[in-house]
Structure 1
């Protein structure tokens, strides 16, 4: 998996979207690392707000998700 930088928003965050997301308009999220927090937002509703997690909480989530097989 690779990531693609999407844009810098007004807060100066560099948002990234996974290459797994593709361009089919499906369920995609963008992630940005900020000062002391990891921000997550819906790629289809960039103005709809974002969630912020501690780096430790985000790392725990990613580790949990990586250990699960993808189902379709």
Structure 2
């Protein structure tokens, strides 16, 4: 899905990626801000900046959402 989003394809309901993460809006906002600050290329800097409070699985979903929003 990450490559799909990188290639510029749109998702019908990108908000579902956020819902599937199971995170609170506060954690979602913090993670998206961390992607804006550290880039979406690597997850480790984002993971570390969030004090490891968001799992890598959750970060994968949020990164897909983040990249899909850049395309629009």
Q: TM-score, normalised by structure 1?
A: 0.33
- The structure with the largest helix share of the pair is 2
- The structure with the largest strand share of the pair is 1
Q: TM-score, normalised by structure 2?
A: 0.33
